[in-house]
A and B are shown apart, each in its own frame.
Chain A
Amino acid sequence: MGTQLDEYLEAEIQSLLADGRIAELGITVLRRENLLVLGGEVETPQRRDEICRQITERFPDVEIACDIGIIRAQAPSEVEEIS
């Protein structure tokens, strides 16, 4: 029997993201019918790839769609006046 895409799996993945080398607390895990969709943003492509690698290694029969973005780090073009 394959891994159930239930809330225990979701909790295990959130725990993996927080406890391991990853240390990402801001990743969202959405359960679709036969698919887990990962969302949120991280600082580098290496971190995004490591998240997907570790989840795939731990749950090899779970299909992952990775929508994790990389946060832009350009200088701002505006200033906000505080009053």
Chain B
Amino acid sequence: MIRIAAVGDVHVDSDVLGRFRPALEQLPDRADVLLVAGDLTRHGTVEEARCFAREFGGLAVPVVVVLGNHDHQSDQQSRITDVLTDSGITVLEAEATVLELHGRRLGIAGVKGFGGGFAGACASNFGEREMKDFVGTTEVIARRLQDALLSVRVDALVALTHYAPVPDTLVGEPLEIYPFLGCYQLGRAIDAAPTALALHGHAHHGSERGRTPGGVPVRNVAHPVIKQAYNVYQLLSEEVDLELIAT
């Protein structure tokens, strides 16, 4: 059994310091790893990244993250990655990491992702250079996610993105902005690998649960959606045991 804690869109700045920490300190009793689905910061500054590292770093469980669109706002994503990495946080962008937990191998493949929309209402790689660049970016990122997912041999495989891979978990958002919230190409990448669970954020007004066309469970863990410090998901269950250890 592996337990995964997950949250996204925590938008940390100095005013958030201390808000998550009490719940995060309880993590070792509740989960084996913490995944954060992007939008770690507000404006994507190095100072905010340091705040995130202070709030979410130094935990007794591994922390694995992807960046989100907010983390790109100040064009400091490389420095943000360095700050987080120096704090012991694993930042995934088109790569995978493998954790040995209770004798089982958990693989996590992550990308930020991008928009574009979903079947029947999506942007096409056609026309103006700007539009082809937009959809081309989506396609490249999705292909990199697929390569990352297929690069590891593990007992359980998790896809971690900021943008949504399915429209199911966007229900609650205005239909008109779905193409800015995710794309079907991410879902197709997830379905091309033996993925056990896909986690994303970004859609603050979306809903929690969905599935890819191939049947992979998808969870929107954006903080405004889950309304708690993190959710906990259990994979590779050996027995029915849904009670958390009381604290």
A interface residues (Cβ-Cβ under 8 A, vs B): 21, 23, 25-26, 28, 40-41, 43-44, 46-47, 71-83
Contact = CB atoms under 8 A, between A and B. Distances in A.
Interface string B22-59: 11001000100000000000110000000000000000
B224 A75 contact: no
B231 A76 contact: yes
Interface in B74-111: none
Contacts of A21: 43
Nearest to A50: B15
B3 interface: yes
Contact of A26 (B26, B204, B237): B204
A32 B38 CA distance: 34
Interface string B4-20: 00000011100110011
A28 B23 CA distance: 28
B231 A44 contact: no
A26 B234 contact: no
Ranked 7 nearest A-B pairs via Cβ: A26-B204, A75-B23, A79-B232, A44-B15, A81-B234, A41-B224, A73-B229
A74 B242 contact: no
A43 B8 CA distance: 12
